[in-house]
Amino acid sequence: MHIEPGVVTGAKIVLSYATAAASFGLAAKMAVDTLRRDGAGALAVRSTATTALVFSFFQLLPHHAVGVSEVHLILGSTLFLIFGSGPAAIGLALGLLIQGLFFAPFDLPQYGMNVTTLLVPLYAMSLLAARIIPARTAYKDVGYGQALALSTAYQGGIVTWVAFWALYGQGFGLANLTAVASFGGAYMTVVLVEPLIDLAVLAAAKTLHRLRDTALVQPRLFEAAA
């Protein structure tokens, strides 16, 4: 989902500053929700964990340039289910920033676009989760259909934002449309993999009862909503 350098240039890039500011507002809302519910210590511990994981996802996991962007296995729905939306948002924003600062400085001009592409779908996915996962269901008991819906929503949101930035920056020429379509087709294959990873991680969580009532994972992982 890293927008390639040169896709959006000149004055057009100013829009990314506005969308990034709005995205940080959504991230702040999600973080405050966690702060109020679980406390500052829990938010700090989980955000540290998600930041380290996101950095690892970007830097260590295989990724390939396809069309106008890169295909990454970000595992946004996994981060959400295990750590919660607030820590996931902070981890996505900081992990992306750290990777850019130390390993990919050529991506920093696109940071506003990339962070928007990650955070807005996360917020939308959190709203969807509230609708499709009953309050009486702990996240460790989420089924394949629910995990698939969350992953599809998140990855679909990423593809939509990448397409927006590409069309906004380069227009509707055939070559650009082809590049957008090739990226979208390649990226949505992640949807086939991510729900299986979600279920594997959640299955492992069921055996790690010592994590229950710790600051590392969100309470909803093991308990129904209050």
CATH code, 24: 1.10.1760.20
The encoded tokens of residue 165 equal: 């930035």
76 lies in a domain?
A: yes
pLDDT of residue 121: 97
The encoded tokens of residue 163 equal: 């397409």
Residue 206: pLDDT over 80? no
Residue 15: pLDDT over 70? yes
Residue of higher predicted confidence among 70 and 83: 83
> Measuring CA to CA, how many Å separate 197 from each of 148, 151, 193, 220?
11, 10, 7, 18
3 lies in a domain?
A: no
> In the chain, how many domains are there?
1
pLDDT of residue 210: 77
pLDDT of residue 115: 98
pLDDT of residue 226: 65
5 lies in a domain?
A: no
Q: Could you give the CA distance from residue 203 to residue 192 in angstroms, rounded to a whole number?
A: 18
Q: Could you give the CA distance from residue 173 to residue 170 in angstroms, rounded to a whole number?
A: 8
151 lies in a domain?
A: yes
1 lies in a domain?
A: no
159 lies in a domain?
A: yes
The encoded tokens of residue 176 equal: 């650009």
**Residue 161 is part of which domain span?**
10-221
Residue type, 46: R
Lowest mean pLDDT across 42-51, 69-78, 164-173? 69-78
Tens of pLDDT, residues 167-199 = 999 999 999 999 999 988 887 787 778 888 888
| CB distance 73 to 189 below 8 Å | no
Lowest mean pLDDT across 15-19, 28-32, 180-184, 194-198? 194-198
Question: How high does pLDDT run on average in the chain?
Answer: 92
67 lies in a domain?
A: yes
226 lies in a domain?
A: no
Instruction: Go through 117-135 and write b for each residue having 16 or more CB atoms within 10 A of its CB, e for each that does not.
Output: bbbbbbbbbbebbeeebee
